Structure 1
Amino acid sequence: MKRELTPGEIIYNIDIVNSDEFNNSIMPQYEDIYSKLTQVIDIDKSGYNIYIVDDFTKEKLEDIIQYIKKLYVNKINPKDICYVVSKDEKAPKAIIIDHGKGNFLKETVEEIKKLYTDFIYNFYNNSSNDKEKEVIIDSIQKKKNELIDNLIETSHNEGFEIKTTNEGFSFIPKKENELMTESDYDGLSALEKDNILTKIKKLRVESKNILDELKIIEDVEIEKIKSIFRDYFEIKLKSKKEEYAERFKDNKEVYVYIESIFEDIEKNVIDNYSINYDEDEENIINTISKYYVNVIVDNSKNSTAPVIYEEDPTVNNLVGTIEYENHNGNYITDVSLINAGSILKANEGCLIVRMDNLVNNPSAYYYLKKVLLNEKVTFDYNRGYLELISLNGLNPEPVNIREKIIVIGDYNTYHMLYNYDSDFKNIFKIRAEFKPDIKINNKNKAIFYSYIEKYLENNNINSIAPSALNKLAKLLSRKAENRNKLFIDEVEIDKILMLSNNNAEKNKRNEITEEDILKAISSYSIVEDEFLEMYRENKILMDVRDRKIGQINGLSVIDTGYISFGKPNRITCTCYKGDGNIIDIQKDSNLSGSIHSKSINILKGWINNILGDYRKLTVDFHLCFEQLYGKIEGDSASVAEALCMVSSLSKIPIKQNIAVTGSINQFGEIQPIGGVNEKIEGFFNVCKIIDTIEDKGILIPARNADSIILKDEVEEAIKNNKFHIYTMEGINDAMDVMMGNDSLNSYKIIKFAKEEIDKYKIGNDV
């Protein structure tokens, strides 16, 4: 049914009110996301991670982080993660220890190292520690002195001077109690030389026997000292070792590790004991110093589970790194150079990443999947060039993890991964979508008010006048293309409020007014201005006064991505005897998109339905969008094209003061279209430039009535009965508005059209 909309149905009016009842309520568009976030956190099972389909903003991220932190309030405190050196320095062991105890373990190990360093030094160098050890050492020294003295005496008796060397002893012959020189030796007879060599050989055998005997004596006696050393460790350090181990009695893994340090240090030092500290010092230092605790994740300052956002999800940032240092041209590393990535830092908590950043690092996505599937972090990815040329690469033990991953991305990426990556659906079992449109009701108006107040407070922005807030709401309804909804675009809201606040401050106002909001949302487009100039100069032909046969004013939207505006278009149609074809000039010129081509085929079905009577039409229709040279897409001009065809055939003119937009199906029903506000305002602006707005109007689908949210100027013209908006539910309504009068309705128009068809059928082409 055709009807003209009243000003009350068109003029947008909303009253955003405050209510303490909903101050802390979640914005409705987040309800699905937050509900599923709660579900994900509650399900302690692998694979229950979440992909949030949404545009990313810092404000949304912060809201999500704060919400998850609230969910974690009553959860257990997160544990620390350490890498420790056990027996194999190249294979650090991973230890997960209670919250805040990582550094305590590190301090304990350092205390143990100092304890053993001091204790061992004292055992070697302090004779008062154990009398039995000193007796044994004195006994060894005494026996050593006796044997060497005997060897010296024997050497002197045989006429030789004895000297000690690194290899043992050397024997130098003497002549008249003086050391024989080389020339003296050369002056000896062969028999004398043979005699000297025989004696040296005998002395060497005797010296070897003495050294062997000394070695046996030392080995026997050192074993006695080792036994004393062992008992010394056991007795003197017992209480200290028990104290250190007791610190970690509740963690069996750490307790065993501490015990292994005691065992390994004592065994290594005792096994390599040689009495002389200087000789043993290097081994002692190496044995003790290798023990090190690297607390790669310290949660001592975190009272709840961590919630971490990784802004740059590279492999290194996600998994972690093993660094290398250059020492004299050699690249070396050790346990202290292992660094945790954000996955480990978020263990027992939640890690948030943006999918577009993740897919820009394909290897990072691969390793994230690997971590989630195996539930452990390995550093095998780090085996690169430096490890190939280094002397001591590491093979750290994998770290078991248990955490939730939140990915924020777009629908297209989700669709692609879900359908083409078989692992994706197993590791992201939950999907949540941001719904930007919220219904306008008392609760949501109060929540929106609270949201704006919170935003103003957080950003130190002036307060906002009620009328200004209503104007902001009007813009958001316009973006939703529904006067009963608000489109919560946080980026747009941020921009408008910032610009409005800036304008208020420039004008020395301490409150954002309606004027400030209007200035912030006003848009100027050079492209739109150039089009309007072409209408003004009559370079784009447009009639907004008369009635014309086969000619109608249609409406389109120019959308640049950052601004959109309506543009009226003249659509024309001619017809002549033919085979019932609709010739679309745009399509034949390759200027038609697939949707527009479909709409032409629908028109063919419709025109045959009302005029054909099961017989083939004998008329061809020639449709053209005049002065349009770009590609046309969409079906919102199909009502205008249908009216043009009927007008051309029936010879009944169409009103040019009313523009039309709408989509038609084969049964003549009118379907809603997009961009209705831009189209109305576009025709309004052109009428204002080339004529007047009085007695002008727009015909739109009835189903678009709740999409109307117009600029104040257009609303004012409608209020003053200068500009009109009509609605249609079927093509007959459109005919009545665009072609009818008091004595001519749609049924008569169709009748005239059929009569013209009949003329063509009998060959009376007029």
Structure 2
Amino acid sequence: MPVTQLNASQLYHGCNPADLPFKTTATIEPLTGLIGQERAREAIEFAANIQAEGYNLYVMGEAGMGKKSLVGEFLTKYCAGRPDAKDWAYLHNFDIPQQPKALSLPAGDGAQLKLDIERVIKELQQQLPYAFDDEYYRGRLRAIEEASRQHRVRLFAALQAEADKQGVVLLRMEDGAYAFAAQHEGEPLSGEAFEDLPYAKKMETEEAIAKLQVDMQETLIEIHEWEHDTVNKITALNDQVALEVITRQIDFLRHAYPKSQLLQNYFDDMQFDIQRNIDMFLKNDERQEDVNIDNCLKRYQINLIVDNADLHGAPVVYLNQPNHQNLLGCVENMAMMGALVTDFTLIKAGALHRANGGFLIVDAEKLLEQPFAWEGLKAALKSSEIPLENLERTYSLVATVSLEPEPIPLSTKVILLGNRDLYYQLYEWDPEFAGLFKVLADLEDELPRTAETHMQMAKLIASTAMNEHLPALQQGAVALMIEYAARSINDGQQLSLHIGDMTDLLRESAYWTRKYQQAEITADAVNHAWQQRLQRVDRVRTVVYQQIQRQIIQLDVSGKRVGQVNGLSVLSIGGFHFGEPTRITASCRYGDDAIIDIEREVELGGNLHAKGVMILAAYLGSFYAADKPLSMAASIVFEQNYGEIDGDSATVAELCALLSAIAKIPLKQSMAITGSMNQFGQVQAIGGVNEKIEGFYDVCSLVGMTGTQGVIIPRSNMQHLMLKPEVRQSVENGLFHIYAIDDIADAITILTDHEVGVADEDGNYPEKTFNAAVAARLANWAELNKHDKDTSHEASD
């Protein structure tokens, strides 16, 4: 195919505003959801519906592609029709306090149970003191105590009567002990008086006292037994009174939650524990104003860690900070008297608890940045349980007694949001990843441009403007937004699906619209927003172009030079890309089949650039030295390049410079060229074609337009052209030229104005053609090489 000089209409794939069937976006129906993501949407639906182990989902796409929006859009509808998620709570384990029990309840029952237990505790707080202050209870208590007192009186009266008969008096000592002494007329005798008694009387009295002391011991034993029995009777009375009150309240709980056997057992334990610790509900003394209800509630209340009372359907949880604690929950500690203590009320839920029965959405990169979080998530997914562990205790960072809560069964689909590189790295380096995330939703980056997709994009723009509360867009503004969606990916036939970038441009356009007090976003506002965005990041480009203008960076845009050509590259700084013309030079000499890539030698050239140079060498040998040695040494360099270079888009330019150096035929410096090539000289598409063309155009404008300047591009890049208006206008006026080529011969023709020349059957090229000059010099070097070898052999002989 001959060289094509492009006209202005071929340089931009526009969107005609007249083809859009609306005046403003206010009159069109907004789009619900993203466009062009049917494949990913089907994958999300599959992952949500399949009920099998390991079918968690990885949503793949670059930042700003709308991964979260796509997942959220589907799950909002899907989860609304799913069964309600359960409430989850932990109960105090009265037998083993270090092992709290996990409890599941229907959605909303957890909050109700918490209220019911609080009501019961408060009722007991009021009713138990009242029951023990009731007159009926006090009467029964007095009867028990009076019976015990009277029995004691009777026993001591009988003992005193027997002592009186024996002439002995019963005494109560200061320390509370009892003693017997001889008496006279009712008064105890002193020790001296007792010694003055006749011997027989003393002996009789001592015998009587000894017998009475035995009777006293028996009496005291009987009194102790009666007092013990009295205590038992009082305890039984207290238990009976308390049991009536406690049972009445606990029965309320039993009847309210009959379906949960775990709760029924808990209520039994709770009743027994309240009876055993009834003093918690009673005043310690008259000065105490009230019972401490918080202590009672803390012991018997549930710890409701997940409350789904307000949720209808399955939960969807997005975790923004996926550290281990936020993901899996934790058991907190509190300081008390210089030590760290904990209990079941300090158990805190993680995102997996809140998402149980539904879906958990996590940013994969953020997850992997957090220590222990990724391993913790995998462990939970593999065991289908949510373990509650204290990392500090697990890794011996603190010495404290912690809890071992019962793990909660896990039934959650985890959705990771991440880019492609991270997915493939996980797949390659983590052997467990593929088994846990078996479903991939791969978002499309681009969408083919058609009338239908233009309208879909218009609806997406309309819905975004509405959701962001932005002014409506006029027809021309929407058309320009569509064109920028193509320009942003350097493809005139595709549309970018980068929703974040489109939304930012809308917001910025709305800013300028409001600043200039306009009611609707116009095409001028969109263009102004785009130009302002470029201007904010344009400093480096301006500096580079000024250095070229001042010849600090040397570049010729006119005249001819042997072995020198203008190549084109793209510099990327942050998110800004611009084209930079670069002088590429080649030198050659007689040598031993060596092409030196200077960039590679000094480690500034990447692997792809080295590949391009090797392809160049292969082409040179196969086309010009197929039947003889390539007796040439050459070097190729990007002049004044001080950074790394990679890619093969300069291969065509490098070959042109090298062939020019061999043939000693100069190349036009008014032209710049870009393109990769294969071993057969066919030119292939490259990236950044718009930035490269515009970069050379801008430099020519600064240095001075001559009307002969232009750029040579691969024909396969024509479909990508979305050039700015200044370039299109210059082409229209004949001041700038863009050529599309298919092979290296086309490039040589444009750059030299020489006929390239096609070899005949014997491999000879027509005289005075470019290829003839190349072949002649290579043949001369080959002859020199043969002569040198012959001379070497003769010398060795």
TM range (shorter): 0.7 to 0.9
State the AA in 2 paired with 1:755.
A
Corresponding position: 1:318 with 2:292: no
Superposed CA deviations along residues 146-178 of structure 1, whole A, max 9, x for unmatched, are: 33555677899755542697xx74669899999
Q: CA deviation at 1:27?
A: 2.0
Matched residue SS, 1:380: coil
CA contact (8 A) 2:711 2:738 kept: yes
Q: CA deviation at 1:481?
A: 1.8
Task: State which of 698, 707, 712 in structure 2 corresponds to 1:694.
Answer: 707
Q: How does 1:367-766 map to 2 (within 5 A)?
A: 367-381=376-390, 384=393, 393-522=402-531, 523-524=534-535, 525-692=538-705, 694-741=707-754, 745=757, 748-763=769-784
State the AA in 2 paired with 1:536.
Q
In structure 1, the partner of 2:35 is: 28
Q: Distance in 1 between matches of 2:207 and 2:64?
A: 97
Q: CA deviation at 1:426?
A: 2.6
Corresponding position: 1:362 with 2:371: yes
Distance 1:132 1:760, change over 3 A: closer
In structure 2, the partner of 1:46 is: 53
Superposed CA deviations along residues 547-582 of structure 1, whole A, max 9, x for unmatched, are: 333222211122223322112122222332222321
Q: CA deviation at 1:310?
A: 1.7
Matched residue SS, 1:128: helix
Corresponding position: 1:251 with 2:260: yes
In structure 1, the partner of 2:762 is: none
Q: Distance in 2 between matches of 1:582 and 1:22?
A: 62
Distance 1:205 1:75, change over 3 A: farther
TM-score (norm 1): 0.86
CA contact (8 A) 1:161 1:174 kept: no
Q: Distance in 2 between matches of 1:365 and 1:734?
A: 54
Superposed CA deviations along residues 65-110 of structure 1, whole A, max 9, x for unmatched, are: 3431211011111111111224234432111001100122223333
State the AA in 2 paired with 1:162.
R
Distance 1:128 1:307, change over 3 A: same
CA contact (8 A) 2:8 2:731 kept: yes
Distance 1:583 1:262, change over 3 A: closer
State the AA in 1 paired with 2:772.
K
Q: CA deviation at 1:117?
A: 5.5
Distance 1:308 1:172, change over 3 A: farther
Distance 1:123 1:576, change over 3 A: closer
Q: Distance in 2 between matches of 1:521 and 1:244?
A: 67
State the AA in 2 paired with 1:492.
D
Deviates more, 1:362-371 or 1:124-133: 124-133
Deviates more, 1:106-115 or 1:636-645: 106-115
CA contact (8 A) 2:513 2:520 kept: yes
CA contact (8 A) 2:386 2:408 kept: yes
Distance 1:542 1:107, change over 3 A: closer
Superposed CA deviations along residues 593-645 of structure 1, whole A, max 9, x for unmatched, are: 33222222211111010011232122323323233333332211111111222
Q: CA deviation at 1:443?
A: 3.2
CA contact (8 A) 1:378 1:398 kept: yes
CA contact (8 A) 2:509 2:528 kept: yes
Computed over aligned residues only, the root mean square deviation of the Cα atoms, in angstroms, reads 4.3
Q: Distance in 2 between matches of 1:289 and 1:553?
A: 80
Deviates more, 1:60-69 or 1:371-380: 60-69
What stretches of structure 2 of length at least 5 have no aligned partner? Answer: 760-768, 788-797
Q: Distance in 1 between matches of 2:582 and 2:361?
A: 49
Q: Distance in 2 between matches of 1:681 and 1:108?
A: 74
CA contact (8 A) 1:25 1:447 kept: no
Superposed CA deviations along residues 439-460 of structure 1, whole A, max 9, x for unmatched, are: 2223322222122112212222
CA contact (8 A) 1:480 1:487 kept: yes
Q: How does 1:334-349 map to 2 (within 5 A)?
A: 334-349=343-358
Superposed CA deviations along residues 116-159 of structure 1, whole A, max 9, x for unmatched, are: 56665566554636998876665444334433555677899755
CA contact (8 A) 2:124 2:245 kept: no
Corresponding position: 1:37 with 2:44: yes
Matched residue SS, 2:581: strand
Q: Distance in 1 between matches of 2:306 and 2:637?
A: 70
Q: Distance in 2 between matches of 1:13 and 1:285?
A: 72
Corresponding position: 1:5 with 2:2: no
In structure 1, the partner of 2:81 is: 74
Q: CA deviation at 1:220?
A: 5.5
Q: Distance in 1 between matches of 2:196 and 2:412?
A: 91
Superposed CA deviations along residues 525-555 of structure 1, whole A, max 9, x for unmatched, are: 2222222222322333333333333222211
Q: How does 1:33-182 map to 2 (within 5 A)?
A: 33-56=40-63, 61-62=68-69, 64-88=71-95, 89-114=97-122, 121=129, 124-126=132-134, 128=136, 138-147=146-155, 158-159=168-169, 161-162=171-172, 169=177
TM-score (norm 2): 0.83
Q: CA deviation at 1:647?
A: 2.1
CA contact (8 A) 1:551 1:573 kept: yes
Q: Distance in 1 between matches of 2:228 and 2:184?
A: 41
CA contact (8 A) 2:652 2:677 kept: yes
CA contact (8 A) 2:41 2:70 kept: no
What stretches of structure 1 of length at least 5 have no aligned partner? Answer: none
Aligned residues: 752
Deviates more, 1:219-228 or 1:714-723: 219-228
Distance 1:627 1:290, change over 3 A: closer
CA contact (8 A) 1:307 1:350 kept: yes
CA contact (8 A) 1:265 1:288 kept: no
Distance 1:194 1:688, change over 3 A: farther
Q: CA deviation at 1:64?
A: 3.1
Superposed CA deviations along residues 482-512 of structure 1, whole A, max 9, x for unmatched, are: 1111113333223322222222222222222
Distance 1:207 1:683, change over 3 A: farther
CA contact (8 A) 1:80 1:101 kept: yes
Q: Distance in 1 between matches of 2:522 and 2:364?
A: 39
Q: CA deviation at 1:114?
A: 4.8
State the AA in 2 paired with 1:74.
G
Q: Distance in 2 between matches of 1:502 and 1:247?
A: 59
In structure 1, the partner of 2:305 is: 296
Q: Distance in 2 between matches of 1:614 and 1:174?
A: 151
Deviates more, 1:477-486 or 1:201-210: 201-210
Q: Distance in 1 between matches of 2:334 and 2:305?
A: 18
Superposed CA deviations along residues 297-317 of structure 1, whole A, max 9, x for unmatched, are: 111111222212222222222
Superposed CA deviations along residues 241-271 of structure 1, whole A, max 9, x for unmatched, are: 55432222233333343344345555x479x
State the AA in 2 paired with 1:488.
L
Distance 1:648 1:337, change over 3 A: closer
